[in-house]
Structure 1
C-alpha cells in the first residue's frame, strides 16, 4: 500500500475519503489515472427529487391559522426529508466528486428558503453545474426562486430598487469585495429590477416593474439587463481569482499560496470558467500533493459524518439522529448562518463541537448513547424537535449499524496494524498514535480508537 499516498490524498479532497475497498490491485495506478476515474464516475448528475410541492400558496395566504400551522409542519418535515436525502446520497453515491463540489457550491451560494421545493431546486442547480460552467451556474442560481426570495429581489422594482441581491452577487458570488463601487451596486440593482418568480416557483421577468433606463456599470453605459451585469462581472479576471482563491482553501490549504491561486485563475479564466478544467489542473499539479498540503484541513461536519458513513457502511434505524449531529457540530444543510455561508476551516472546531466529534465515532460504531445540549437557533427548531427542553441534556440512543464484516474483509491480507492506522488517518502518526497501535490486540477496537482522535478530524 506504499504507492497509494497521493491517491489517498486525492480521495480526501476530491471525495469523502478513501476506503480499503478502493485500494486497487494495480500497483501502477497513478494519481492522474485516479483523477480521470473520479471525473468519469461523476459524469452524470442525478438530481434529488423527493419534494413534491403541490401547495396552493395563494389560497394559503387567505387561509385560517389552522391551515398555516399544518403547512408549517409539512414544510419542517420536507426540510428534514431533503436534508437526509442529501446526506444519504453523499454517503452512498459513486459520483463523489460531483457531490463534494455540490457541497462547495451549496456554501458558496449560501441560501435559506422557507419552501423545501425551492431549496431542492437550487441544490439540483448546483449539482448539475457542479463540474460544468461557472457562468451557466451563476445565471441559473440568480434566477432561482430560492435565491431571489432570500435576497429580496422579488421586491426589486423600478423607482424602488432593492440592492440586496446585486450587492451579494458581487461581494460573495463573483468578483469579491474591493473590486466594485457603491455606484456599481446601485446601477446593477436597477438592471435586476423585475427579476422574480411566480407561485409555481418559475422564474419570471416582469417588464412592467423593470427599469429600462440607461445604466453605467463598471465603466460601461447601456440599457443593461441582469444577464449583462453577470457577463460584465465574469469579463473581469478578478472574478476568476476570487473563485480560485476560495477553491484553494476548500481543496488545498486554508492559507492560500498567491502564486498557485494566480495560476489557477489563469486556467479558469482562459477556459471560459469551465470548472472541470480548473479542477483537473489542481488535482494534477505537483504542489497539490506537497506534504504541507496533506492532512492539514479540518473536515466540515458533513464531510466528517459522510466519511464515517462511507468508511463503515453505516445504516440508521432512525436517520433523524444525523440532523442532531449536524446541529451539534454546527453545520445543518440548507441552513447556513447567513448569506456568507459557513466560515469553515479552523472555525469548525470549538470545545463543544470537538467533544462531539471525538465522541460520535465510538457512539456510531459501538451502538452508544450521546447527549445533546444547547439552546437552538429558532430557525433550526425543525431539526431538533426531539429535544423537548433545549436547555437540558437529552440522551439519545443512536441506533446505527456499521457493517464490520465488510469493513474488516476489505482490508488487504497481511496489512500491518501500522499500515491500517496510517491509511485511516491523513496526518502522519505521532508517538501517542503509534503507542495506541502497538498496544492494540483487536483490529476493530484499534480502528474505533483511531477514528476517535483529533487526527481523524483532519483530511
Structure 2
C-alpha cells in the first residue's frame, strides 16, 4: 500500500502545479504537507514571458516587396513570435519553481480566453495574467479588461456612443464574472454603453476615448448613474453571483468537475468577504481536508498541456526542436494562447476521443524514440493557423521534437521505488502484471509503459 502522505503530496503537486518534478521524487513521501504548501505559495520574483524573434520594424529589406509579399512576411513573423511565446510559457510550466503561479496563469488564460494574431498583445495579456494570477481578482479583471488583446478580440475598439457594440459587455458578464442567468439583456445593452470609448492606441496602450463615450444616464444591474466602464466592473464585483461563478469554476478546475454545493457556497462567501483574494481562496482549498478525499484524487482527465508538462517534469529532456511541441498541442486539441473560442477550452471528457486518446497513449514511446508519429488531426480542426495543408503540417522533419531523455537520472531517482506509486494517481484499475509483461524490467521501460496507460491520463 502507498502511504497516505505520498498520495496527498502527489495530489497537491498535480493540482496546484503540473505534477512532481524529478527533483521532488526523492523525499516526496516524507514531505510535510504544510511545508509543501508553504513552498507552493512562496512567490519568486516575477519574470515576464517574452520572445526574441525580431520585430517587423527591424526588417529593412521589406521596402522592395509587394504588399502581398509584405503581408505574408508579417504573418510569418507574427507566427514565429507567437510560437516562441507559447514555448516560453510552456517552459515556465515545466521548469519554474513557481508552480502555483504558472498553474493559476494556465487556468486564467483559459478563463479570460482571447485569440489575436498580434504577438505584442498576446505577450502583454499573458504577462498581466501571470503577474496577477494569485493576486486580487478585481485587479486581474481590470487589467485583462483593459488589455488590447481582449478589447480587440471582443470588438470594444468598435464600441462607440451612437453605435454601441455589445460583445465585450456580454462576454465580461457571461464568461468572465457572473455567468448566465444573473443579468438581463437590458443589462448587456446598458453595460455596453458604459464601456463605450474603451480601446487602445497604435502602441497598444489602453485609452478611454472621451469623445466616443456615452455620457447619458444608464441603469445597470439595478443601479442608475452616468456609469463608465470602471463603474460597470465595480458594480459587477459587488454582485455575490460573481464570487460564486468564479469559485465554482476554480473548484471544477482544481478539485472536481462534480461540484459540492455546500463547500462551494462557503468558499465563495469567504472569497467575497476577502475582497476577491485569490491566494487566500487557493490556500483554503489546498489546506482543507476535503481536498484530499479519495473522491477527488485521480478523477480528473489531464488536459493536453497538463499531460505534456507532467511528462516533461518527470523526465529530464533535452529538446532539439521544441517548435514541434506545438504540433502536439494542436493534435491533442489545446494550443497555448490559441483557445478555440471566447469560452476557452472545454474540460473533462471532451479532451478524449478515439484519435486523441491514441496519440496520448503513444507520446511516451514517440518522445522516447521508440516509434514514429503517425497521425491525422481531427476533422473539425480550425487550428491550422495559416498552414495550408495537413501534409505540410505533418511532414517527417516537422513533427519529431528530437528529444534526448536523461534515463540515467530517471533510473537513479526511481530505482529503489515502486515506479507506479510515483507516476499514477489512481491504481484501482491498473493491472501491473500487464505493464510488467510488456516491460523488460528496466526502469526506463517501466516508466514508458506506465505513461502509456489510460490511468496516466488521470490526475
1:143 maps to which of 116, 141, 146: 146
SS class of match (1:371):
coil
Q: Which residue of 1 aligns with 2:207?
A: 204
Q: How far 1:82 sits from its partner (Å)?
A: 1.3
Mapped to 2, the partners of 1:28 and 1:369 lie a distance apart of 39
Number of residue pairs the alignment of both structures matches: 451
Q: Which moved more, 1:45-54 or 1:337-346?
A: 45-54
2:261 maps to which of 258, 264, 275: 258
Mapped to 2, the partners of 1:65 and 1:20 lie a distance apart of 49
Q: Which residue of 2 aligns with 1:11?
A: 13
Q: How far 1:263 sits from its partner (Å)?
A: 1.3
Q: How far 1:315 sits from its partner (Å)?
A: 2.1
Q: TM-score, normalised by structure 1?
A: 0.92
Mapped to 2, the partners of 1:87 and 1:429 lie a distance apart of 31
Asked whether the 8 Å contact 1:367–1:401 carries over to 2, the reply is no
Q: Which residue of 2 aligns with 1:84?
A: 87
SS class of match (1:381):
coil
1:380-459 matched pairs, under 5 angstroms: 380-382=383-385, 387-388=390-391, 396-411=399-414, 414-415=416-417, 419-430=418-429, 432-437=431-436, 440=439, 441-459=441-459
Mapped to 2, the partners of 1:33 and 1:80 lie a distance apart of 36
2:104 maps to which of 97, 101, 104: 101
Mapped to 2, the partners of 1:323 and 1:405 lie a distance apart of 27
Asked whether the 8 Å contact 2:6–2:28 carries over to 1, the reply is no
Return closer, same or farther for 1:27/1:313 CA change in 2, 3 Å cut-off.
Answer: closer
Q: How far 1:319 sits from its partner (Å)?
A: 0.9
Q: Which moved more, 1:303-312 or 1:368-377?
A: 368-377
Tell me the C-alpha RMSD between the 2 structures: 2.5
1:314 maps to which of 310, 313, 317: 317
Q: How far 1:389 sits from its partner (Å)?
A: 5.0
Asked whether the 8 Å contact 2:26–2:413 carries over to 1, the reply is no
1:239 maps to which of 229, 242, 255: 242
Q: How far 1:429 sits from its partner (Å)?
A: 4.5
Mapped to 1, the partners of 2:361 and 2:386 lie a distance apart of 22
Return closer, same or farther for 1:25/1:399 CA change in 2, 3 Å cut-off.
Answer: closer
1:110 maps to which of 104, 113, 125: 113
1:297 maps to which of 297, 300, 314: 300
- Unaligned runs of 5+ residues in structure 1 are none
Q: Which residue of 2 aligns with 1:45?
A: 46
Q: Which residue of 2 aligns with 1:172?
A: 175
SS class of match (2:322):
coil
Q: Which residue of 2 aligns with 1:31?
A: 33
Mapped to 2, the partners of 1:254 and 1:383 lie a distance apart of 35
Q: How far 1:20 sits from its partner (Å)?
A: 4.8
SS class of match (1:196):
strand
Return closer, same or farther for 1:377/1:249 CA change in 2, 3 Å cut-off.
Answer: same
Return closer, same or farther for 1:122/1:304 CA change in 2, 3 Å cut-off.
Answer: same
SS class of match (2:374):
strand
Mapped to 1, the partners of 2:79 and 2:379 lie a distance apart of 15
Asked whether the 8 Å contact 2:178–2:241 carries over to 1, the reply is yes
SS class of match (1:84):
helix
Q: How far 1:379 sits from its partner (Å)?
A: 5.9
1:117-132 matched pairs, under 5 angstroms: 117-132=120-135
